[in-house]
Amino acid sequence: MSDLAKTPGPSTKKSEKAEQSATVPAQAAEPSAATIPAVDPRLLIREEGFKGYWSEFTRKVRGGELGSLPVFVGLIVIAIVFQLQNSNFLSASSVANIAVYSSGLGIMAVGIVFVLLLGEIDLSVGSVAGVGAATWAVLNVNHGWPEWLAILTAVLAGTALGALHGFFFAKIGVPAFVVTLAGFLGWSGLQDWMMGGEGSINTPSGSVVEDLTNYFFEDKGVGYGLAVVAVVAYAASLLVDSKRRRAANLPARPVTEIVLRTGVVAVLCFVVAYVLNEPEGARGLPLALVLFLAVLVIADFVARRTTFGRQVFAVGGNAEAARRAGISVDRIRIIVFALSGTLGAFGGLFIASLSGGATKSVGGGNTLMLVIAAAVIGGTSLFGGRGKVWSALLGMVVIQSIQQGLNMIGMANAVQYMITGAVLLAAVVIDSVSRRTQKTAGRA
């Protein structure tokens, strides 16, 4: 045989390579990029313990993701300053007053949070609150309707007015600012007309509306029991969320973080329960605070755990992209404004309870400004698509703490308005700077 015949050809080389590759164990084969599981950087950070959490915290701050940090810092500063000025600022009666006066306006601020998430504004919420209070008073006191029916009608009246605003905005194309400004003027006139020449209708003694801000659970077990329920529910929600994320092969919070978060919430809840129950002069847990927290929990669940809530964020982030994704933008807008009207009317009943009855001034004055300020100060962005329902609570506590503290040191109302305005401006500046920083860091 010639040397040419002994030289292996291309087919012989391929067969030899195939035989060699066949002898290599499957475990020795290098995995492709597609088979390597992606590791979330947050998991690696959390595995580093306190150092990892601090690194994550500083990264978020540098990237403009401040969250509720400015609000908590502000609350600490407010508490220290006013406690030094007046040792009764953190007393049981003072804390109870802050809780009660925050509840009605805070419930209204929850509705504003949803509107702001759309990137819109509702200037009619104060007037809607006045109409709600007037509707209840006229039907219940003047016409003898059962109180629960009168309350339900008042709240539904707010729903109808809010839905009307949403219709003109979503379907007709009138800007929300103009629609709700017209509502602010028109519903103020309607409230004045409904009240007639009397000008005010006193709250009946022992009525449900009177109890909204005047009833306190004197039994200490109610306050501590509610604290236990809140802590257990919070821990359970974290555990369920972690379990679901692990089942879907998504990053989940480690047990240590869940325990830490639950511990912080537990301390906060039990400290509040202690202050409201134990010191001398404490009246117990206010019903108004319980109702406010119930509204917050339900609204937070709707915003974070339902399809509707995710659609609200989507529309607020980019309405055109949401429309192309199949979301009915008009329907979302109408529902959100209807929700704002509903909570506005409900909050109006709290204001009437504090005022001792329905008057032509319910919902007037600085009510609108305080409600919008609470949502913004709490961390909800004016530019849409970013914020939390709990912003209503944080912002309203800040505002009422400032007012309570200034009242205790005898400061004039004019100074209170100026300080509240400065705080609102600071919140908007922080929001604007945060957005600009996020864009620079590529996180917008």
Give the pLDDT band (50/70/90) at residue 400. very high
Extract the tokens encoding 104. 């009605």
Residue 14 has pLDDT above 80, yes or no: no
Q: What share of the chain is helix, strand, coil (3-state, %, to 5)?
A: 75, 0, 25
Which of 42-46, 125-129, 192-196 is predicted most confidently? Answer: 125-129
Per-residue pLDDT, 57? 60
Residue 24 has pLDDT above 60, yes or no: no
Average pLDDT over residues 323-350: 96
The three-class DSSP label of residue 49 is coil
CA–CA dist 315, 384 (Å, integer)? 9
Cβ contact 318:122 at 8 Å = no
Per-residue pLDDT, 223? 92
Give the pLDDT band (50/70/90) at residue 33. very low
The per-residue pLDDT for range 374-390, each reduced to its tens digit, is 898 888 887 777 788 98
Average pLDDT over residues 183-206: 89
DSSP 189-249: HHHHHHHTTT-EEEPPTT-HHHHHHH-EE--HHHHHHHHHHHHHHHHHHHHHHHHHHHHTT
Give the pLDDT band (50/70/90) at residue 422. confident
Average pLDDT over residues 340-359: 94
47 vs 398, more confident? 398
Give the pLDDT band (50/70/90) at residue 4. very low
* Cα three-residue angle 269-272-276, rounded to 5 degrees: 140
Lowest mean pLDDT among 103-107, 233-237, 352-356, 436-440: 436-440
Give the pLDDT band (50/70/90) at residue 7. very low
- Helices vs. strands in the chain: H and E counts, helices first: 19, 4
Per-residue pLDDT, 287? 95
Cβ contact 70:429 at 8 Å = no
Residue 10 has pLDDT above 60, yes or no: no
Give the pLDDT band (50/70/90) at residue 36. very low
Instruction: List CB contacts of 279: < 8 A, sequence separation 6 or more.
Output: 91, 92
Cβ contact 151:88 at 8 Å = no
Per-residue pLDDT, 276? 92
- The DSSP bridge partners found for residue 286 are 216
Mean pLDDT score of the chain, rounded to an integer? 84
Residue 333 main-chain phi, psi, to 5 deg: -65, -45
Instruction: List CB contacts of 145: < 8 A, sequence separation 6 or more.
Output: 139, 153
CA–CA dist 359, 157 (Å, integer)? 17
Task: Provide the percentage of residues in the chain whose pLDDT is more than 70.
Answer: 82
Q: Cβ atoms within 10 A of the Cβ of 356, count?
A: 12
Give the pLDDT band (50/70/90) at residue 35. very low
The three-class DSSP label of residue 387 is coil
Per-residue pLDDT, 67? 62
- What do you get for the CA distance between the two ends of the chain, in Å? 75
Residue 316 has pLDDT above 70, yes or no: yes
The per-residue pLDDT for range 125-177, each reduced to its tens digit, is 999 999 999 999 999 998 999 999 999 999 999 999 999 999 999 999 999 99
Give the single-character DSSP code of 144: -
Q: Cβ atoms within 10 A of the Cβ of 340, count?
A: 33
- Exposed/middle/buried for 7, CB within 10 Å: 0-12, 13-18, 19+? exposed
